[in-house]
Structure formats: C-alpha cells, structure tokens
Amino acid sequence: MIAPKYHIFVCTSCRINGTQQGFCYQKKSVDLVRKFMQEIDDRELSSECMVTNTGCFGICDKGPICVVYPEGIWYKNLDEEAVERICEEHLEGGVPVKDYRI
C-alpha cells in the first residue's frame, strides 16, 4: 500500500454516472491533473505524492480547485503556473502557496 507524503485531490467535475461536466471541467481541470502528474514525475516526487481527480467540491466560483492532504490546504483558480508553484513551493519546499489559497 502506498503511503504518500501528499495526496492532491483535483476537481474535474466528475459526476456519479462518470460523465464530466461543470465549471472546473470547462476550465480544463483534466489538463491540470495531467500537469500535476507530469510535474511530480519530473521532480522525482512520485514516491511521495499521489494525484486523484474528484467530483465537485461545491465552490465552483473559485475553480478549478484542488486540496492537498494531509494538511487540508485548499487552492483556487488553478492554471498551469499555479500547479508548477504548488509542486515547487508546497510539495518540494513544504510551504503552502499563499497566492492560490482559499
């Protein structure tokens, strides 16, 4: 069983029937999941980080959104730059990125 240091949950607006529709999905959150995975792999953090796509968190006006556990840090208005900063500053450096925090 994997025991990651960080578990990142990214809203992709996935519905219970498996379809994806909604604000975060429309704002390309699926691409952000891929970006997290790429950044984690490039930074050799695969043994420390897990990325999971989720359904709606219910705060769509702040999306795309992710939550980083175990701290429970919520990030808003994600784009590729935000993902890079979260990976560098939070996942590698241990310091949450204030600019994107909810």
* CATH number of the domain encompassing residue 49: 3.40.30.10
- Could you list the residue range(s) of the whole structural domain that residue 27 is in? 6-96
Question: What is the per-residue pLDDT for 39?
Answer: 97
Residue 1 lies in a domain: no
Condensed to tens digits (0 to 9), the pLDDT of residues 6-32 reads 999 999 987 677 667 778 888 999 999
| Tally of CB atoms within 10 A around 91 | 19
> What is the domain count for the chain?
1
> pLDDT at residue 1 above 60?
no
- Per-residue burial over 29-64, b if 16 or more Cβ lie within 10 Å, else e, is bbebbebbbebbeeeebeeebbbebbebbeebebbb
Residue 12 burial by Cβ neighbours in a 10 Å radius (0-12, 13-18, 19+): buried
Question: Which tokens go with 33?
Answer: 């999941």
- Give me the residue label for tokens 């069983």: 1
Residue 102 lies in a domain: no
